[in-house]
Amino acid sequence: MDFEYHCWRCWETNVIWGKKVASFWHDKYRLPPDFECWNCGAINDLTDD
């Protein structure tokens, strides 16, 4: 499943693929801990949500 995040630096939209994780109760998606913005190269942290 694709997730959209806005870069903290340039506010460009980055589409991040979340891998589906098997779960009995509901669907979960595992995202990488961070991603590099395709536009400006800034590292965006995804771990604190």
Sign for the pseudo-dihedral over CA of 7, 43, 37, 28: negative
Q: Is 6 near Zn ion (CB under 5 A)?
A: no
| Window of 15-23, 24-32, 40-48 that interacts with Zn ion by CB under 5 A | 40-48
Q: Is 46 near Zn ion (CB under 5 A)?
A: no
Return the CA Rg of the chain.
12
Contact by Cβ (8 Å): 16, 3 = yes
Q: Is 35 near Zn ion (CB under 5 A)?
A: no
| Window of 16-24, 25-33, 35-43 that interacts with Zn ion by CB under 5 A | 35-43
